[in-house]
A and B are shown apart, each in its own frame.
Chain A
């Protein structure tokens, strides 16, 4: 079985996927309010920061959390552009008192090294900081490899 068959979670709340959380997620989707659903390529990354900021602000996130979400969304989208086939789709929705930010790409999938709770990249490390920031700045981060590519979803709770 390849690792692609698994979903895995990084979270500051839970460290492993739990059926309860999954089930809760499904009910949330039913009442989700879609805020943004946009394809992107490299030239769109800057504008994407602006759109995410505007929607997150309107959704009621505190200014410092808006900054956090903008960086998370930008880093996930940049990963898709640089390592995930050059393009992707960003969805932002409101559900269960939290803002969800999902980035899909059609690339080769997330490398196996990202499985499990990561350590902060070393000070001189050449890379790996994007997912670390996304993990640290979000309340929950879900990484999934699908048959088509990778999906990363970050969740930031509303105050």
Chain B
């Protein structure tokens, strides 16, 4: 069974799965994985499926990754997963492993101190021959990575894959990457955001979640000089939770800043409670398009 790991702790040889329900959170973790690879001058291979390549590139760029430069130099490749996994309508575990082994060698030959591979595995939900080899592939991939200069994250959308496949997947990854989570239930999720660093609160928050919220805020304040609070998916906030954000911003040191991205209704509550008077707190309204 996969052991929980933080995305920033992944190193050569690691084979991690990322089973997600929230697409925004997946994107955050993948972006952090890509960022760490680019920073370490590793080659980064990003196979995408549900998110079109151009959209993924711009999502990376919005999070501050040097996408254009890294693409031009060949350090970063964003490409459709299907093109690599499926040839002539069928998937072959052994062929894919050969391809990946060649990529690992090529990265070393090109002078990179390693290779990072991440793939959205959604392609396996569409009809193709050889899909029964998916779990075999994952186990062979783990073996390939084991003594290599490469690191991988395989992304599985929990809402699309069946539980048997997901269990097989988890069994064949030593690690499972997830965001550090402070609260998670049907109404509310509070977790760490990696890129830009800070926290993310989605759903509806009120005074009953004040403890996990305060914990998430204090940890972000301890870690980050510029705390990015992502409330884009927050639909409701009560005054106690709003007060916690204001008090956290009030407690920042002179070197710290906080940016809160939120919907108009949340913005109105924070402003009414005086958030506008805090010079190092910036509120940004995001228009909701769901």
A residues whose Cβ falls under 8 Å from a Cβ of B: 45-46, 49, 64, 67-68, 70-71, 74-75, 78, 82, 120-125, 127, 129-130, 132-133, 136-137
B1 at the interface (CB under 8 A from A): no
Residue pairs across A and B with CB atoms within 8 Å: the count is: 56
Give the complex CA separation of A82 and B277 in angstroms: 29
Contact, CB under 8 Å: B265 / A78: no
**Known A64-B264, A120-B273, A123-B246: A129·B239 in contact at CB below 8 Å:** yes
Chain B: residues with Cβ within 8 Å of the partner, total of 22
Q: What are the residues of chain B within 8 A of A49 when measuring CB–CB?
A: 204, 236
Query: For residues 176 through 206 of chain B, which have their beta carbon under 8 Å from a beta carbon of chain A?
Result: 187, 204, 206
Chain A residue at minimal CB-CB distance from B207 = A78
A132-B273, A136-B272 are known; give 15 further A-B pairs, CB within 8 A.
A45-B206, A46-B187, A64-B264, A67-B265, A68-B268, A71-B236, A78-B206, A78-B238, A120-B274, A123-B246, A123-B250, A123-B278, A133-B239, A133-B269, A137-B272
Query: For residues 232 through 261 of chain B, which have their beta carbon under 8 Å from a beta carbon of chain A?
Result: 236, 238-240, 242-243, 246-247, 250
Give the complex CA separation of A127 and B238 in angstroms: 12
**Known A45-B206, A64-B264, A78-B206: A133·B272 in contact at CB below 8 Å:** yes
Q: What are the residues of chain A within 8 A of B236 when measuring CB–CB?
A: 49, 70-71
Q: What are the residues of chain B within 8 A of A74 when measuring CB–CB?
A: 206, 238
Q: What are the residues of chain B within 8 A of A136 when measuring CB–CB?
A: 272
Contact, CB under 8 Å: A124 / B206: no
Give the complex CA separation of A130 and B274 in angstroms: 14
Q: What are the residues of chain A within 8 A of B265 when measuring CB–CB?
A: 64, 67
Chain B residue at minimal CB-CB distance from A67 = B265
